[in-house]
């Protein structure tokens, strides 16, 4: 089987698990590569990229590399979407959801509202969504109704496969086709593709693994509090 064929098989496995069509998915060398691809797709020198802060620090770096302008909008006090985020006239808006480092979650109706209000593409980075307490926290089902929405997933966190470098992007077939033009033809190696495909088909293992990590949350929180931190 060719590398192109096994990559297709990885995307088909992901599509089945996430309930979308295989044309709605592309794979990256980690979701970091997908973020980098998105910057190259949508942002030229001087273009704005909006995101609420504090958040994942790589957004700053990628915007700088692309000579874009970072429109960093401080989160509201309760970490809901800040008032000014949608009006930044940005071809690209990022929302890390649940957010790092706050661990806070924006609900789907707010994301629908945001996608309808931004000037360009909305990227929801769901690196931590498998740890969310709420079922149905993922924006992936919304790609059917929102043509400007891109949802990113990674197998680095809830699958503990960070060294394998497997990320996924879900969006309309048009957007995915555009991203595939920017993507390196052979951006994932066979080991990663095999690991990713197997992992996506072992949901029980993923649930157990994510559960173990969730379980450590209280212990870490208690330790932090004992050291005098506000958790
Ligand atoms: C870890 C992380 C990523 C990148 O994950 P990889 O798939 O390992 O590149 C992207 N976004 C957020 C918010 C992360 O925490």
Per residue in 59-86, pLDDT tens? 999 999 999 999 999 999 999 999 999 9
Residue range 223-229: average pLDDT? 96
Q: Is the CB of 30 under 6 A from ligand 1?
A: yes
Q: What is the pLDDT of residues 148-186, one digit of tens each?
A: 999 999 999 999 999 999 999 999 999 999 999 999 999
Q: Which atom of ligand 1 is nearest to the CA of 34?
A: 9
Average pLDDT score over the chain:
96
Cα 223 to averaged position of ligand 1 atoms, centre (Å) = 25
Q: What is the pLDDT of residues 108-154, one digit of tens each?
A: 999 999 999 999 999 999 999 999 988 899 999 999 999 999 999 99
Provide the pLDDT confidence category of residue 231 given band limits of 50, 70 and 90. Answer: confident
User: What integer is the mean pLDDT of 82-101?
Assistant: 97
- Of the chain, the percentage scoring pLDDT greater than 90 comes to 95
Ligand 1 centre to CA of 209 (Å) is: 17
* 124 CA → ligand 1 middle, Å: 12
Ligand 1 geometric centre to CA of 221 (Å): 22
pLDDT for the residue numbered 133: 82
> Separation of 172 CA from ligand 1 center, angstroms?
22
Secondary structure of the chain in the HEC alphabet? CCHHHHHHHHHHHHHHHHCCCHHHEEEECHHHHHHHHHHHHHCCCCCEEEEEECCCCHHHHHHHHCCCEEEEEECCCCCCCCHHHHHCCCCEEEEECCCCCCCCCCCHHHHHHHHHHCCCEEEEECCCHHHCCCCCCCCHHHHHCCCCEEEEEECCCCCCCHHHCCEEEECCHHHHHHHHHHCCCCCCCHHHHHHHHHHHCCHHHHHHHHHHHHHHHHHHHHHHHHCCCCC
Q: Categorize the per-residue pLDDT at 230 as very low, low, confident or very high, splitting at 50, 70 and 90.
A: confident
So what's the pLDDT on residue 134? Answer: 81
- Pocket flag, ligand 1, residue 131 (CB < 6 Å): no
Ligand 1 close to Cβ of residue 68 (< 6 A): no
Residue having the nearest C-alpha atom to atom 7 of ligand 1: 30
pTM: 0.96
């Amino acid at each position: 089987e060719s590398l192109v064929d096994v990559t297709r098989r990885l995307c088909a496995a992901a599509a089945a698990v996430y309930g979308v069509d295989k044309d709605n998915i592309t794979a990256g060398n980690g979701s970091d590569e997908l973020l980098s691809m998105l910057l190259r797709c949508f942002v030229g020198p001087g273009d704005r990229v909006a995101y609420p802060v504090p958040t994942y620090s790589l957004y700053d770096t990628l915007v700088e590399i692309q000579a874009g302008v970072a429109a960093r909008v401080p989160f509201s006090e309760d970490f809901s979407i800040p008032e000014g985020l949608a009006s930044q006239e940005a071809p690209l808006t990022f929302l890390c959801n649940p957010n790092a480092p706050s661990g806070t979650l924006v609900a789907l109706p707010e994301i629908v509202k945001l996608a309808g209000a931004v000037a360009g593409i909305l990227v929801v980075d769901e690196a931590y969504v498998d740890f969310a307490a709420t079922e149905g926290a993922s924006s992936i089902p919304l790609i059917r109704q929102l043509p400007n929405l891109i949802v990113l997933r990674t197998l680095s966190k809830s699958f503990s496969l960070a060294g394998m470098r497997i990320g996924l992007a879900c969006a309309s077939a048009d957007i995915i086709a555009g991203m595939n033009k920017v993507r390196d033809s052979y951006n994932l190696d066979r080991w990663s593709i095999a690991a990713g495909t197997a992992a996506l088909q072992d949901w029980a293992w993923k649930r157990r693994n994510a559960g173990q990590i969730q379980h450590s949350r209280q212990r870490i929180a208690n330790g932090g509090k004992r050291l005098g931190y506000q958790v």
